[in-house]
Structure 1
Amino acid sequence: MVCPVRWDPRMPVALVVLLLDITLIYHASRTGRLQPWAFIILMVPLIGALAYIVVELIPEWWGGPGAAQARKRVANRLDPEKRYRELSDRLATSDTIANRAALAAECHTIGRFEEAESHYDHVLRLPQGDDPAYALAKAQAQFARKQPAEALATLDALRERWPDFESAEGHLLYARSLAEIGRLDEALEEYQAVSQYFPGAEARVRYGLLLQLVGRTAEARMVFNELLIQMRRAPKYLRDAQAEWLSIAEKQLSA
């Protein structure tokens, strides 16, 4: 029988921390959480242990979807590439379109845009990967790595290959790419078109900003004003979801 460790006021704090770290690392190893927690706990004594308790143990004790989501957010901040490593291992084991597309999407999420583009390129070359959604995702990765001309070329090829494919996100990306390479008149036309049906406020705010940039201030103010009037009638959850873009519109009107 193992005797419990009794508290002794003379026991050094460092020893207590060490015992706590060992206990938590053992727990992590038994529950499949050794990576990256062993490294975090050992490299940041006490703080790493507290983080493990907050991120892993408390949500486990309390349960519930809210706690699980909070745990995921904190874990992503502590180890943002954990899912990337998991998906990379999965792809190495089974190179399927689904696994490669999942890894590509995660690459985009964590800022590995060039790698994301490479994975989408690979998928598009496969007989069963010939899908406009992957071409759009490739263009998004190209734009994210500051290559708007390449994104535009990919979107033009997409439109030629799949003329019936419709995507508000793709249409907005097309307008943004045109604006980035200086084709402003064309960009304004595309912004005007996409702002008529794009869900949310982003397309209209970007349209207004470009109108301001080219000196069409009165039209820009009209776009911002109409957006804000419309959103005042929208449910609160919609206004909250669009808060960032509505704030930009308000600032432009008050400038």
Structure 2
Amino acid sequence: MPVALIVLLLEISLIYHAARTGRLRPWAFIILLAPLIGSLAYIVVELVPEWLGSHDVQKARKRVANKLDPEKQYRELSDRLVITDTIANRAALAAECVEIGRFDEAEHHYDHILSLPMGHDAIYALGKAKAQFARKRPAEALATLDDLQRTWPDYNSAEAHLVYARALEGAGRTDEALEEYQALLDYAPGAEARVRYGMLLKLAGRLADARHVFNEFLIQMRRQPKHVRKAQAEWIAIAEKQIVG
């Protein structure tokens, strides 16, 4: 059998599989426009993870798929919302909007949810604040978070606290931001708050304090298990660069 015919049959089979599993876009175009290479990419990105079933492989597949078609999940969630307009579906779409940079739309969805009796919840106010901050409107994010604290005084969230500290920093309220970052160090999970605290100290000209924070953090990370260091690899790299720089 000629090689060209084998490649053609493979492409047809893969496009059929993509259509059956809801992956026709963008894979049909990739497979047709890049003969053989497109087919191999589909096998590696879509089929191999299914065969292996590994969590890490699935995550890698999702990263590649998102690069090829970053709005695939957005379209699926939008279609789901059209069919069933529930708080859960709208919140999922709002969170995806933040992920792909549709911040105006995300804020609109969160406002709609918060206007509903069953949607008046701190978690959605936090989502709105995150969208506002992502739109580079730190003052509005601060106002939303201040209102959240007044409305739900018992709501405690390290994530909300971190967004608040970052919004203070973005608004140029450096001393207040440093206080909030320092308060976060005692209970925030992960390394982001600590590294951001060191970075702001450095920006404020407190170089010795910043170096102390970074050194302490890196010493602590060296004592952690491999999986912890892997999870915090991005922040470890930033801290190392900040010390050198």
1:152 corresponds in structure 2 to 142
Aligned-partner Cα distance in 2 for 1:81–1:144: 18
Q: 2:25 maps to what in 1?
A: 35
| 1:108 equivalenced with 2:104 (yes/no) | no
In structure 2, distance between residues paired with 1:253 and 1:210 = 13
**Aligned in 2, Cα 1:71/1:220: closer, same or farther, shift over 3 Å?**
closer
Give yes or no for the alignment of 1:65 onto 2:54: yes
CA RMSD, aligned part only? Answer: 2.2
TM-score (norm. length: structure 2): 0.89
TM-superposed CA distance for 1:16, in Å, is 5.5
Q: Deviation of residue 223 (structure 1)?
A: 1.9
Q: Which sections of structure 1, spanning at least 5 residues, go unmatched?
A: 1-6
Q: Which residues of 2 match residues 1-255 of structure 1 at below 5 A?
A: 7-8=1-2, 13=4, 17-60=7-50, 62-66=51-55, 67-255=57-245
CA distance in 2, matches of 1:249, 1:127: 44
| Identity within the alignment, % | 71
Q: Deviations over 1:148-200 (max 9, x none)?
A: 11111111111111111111111111111111111111111111111222112
- In 1, Cα distance between equivalents of 2:60 and 2:244: 37
Give the gaps of 5 or more residues in structure 2.
none
Distance in 2, Cα, partners of 1:181 & 1:191: 15
Q: Distance in 2 between matches of 1:29 and 1:207?
A: 48
1:11-62 Cα shifts (integer Å, max 9, x gaps): 8x4x6544443333233334444333323323333332222222333344x3
Aligned partners of 1:159, 1:169: CA distance in 2, in Å? Answer: 13
Residues 91-143 of structure 1 deviation map (CA, whole Å, 9 limit, x = unaligned):
00010000000111111122222211111111111100011011111111111
The separation in 2 between residues aligned to 1:247 and 1:68, in whole angstroms, is 25
Give TM-score scaled by structure 1 length: 0.86
Larger Rg belongs to: 1
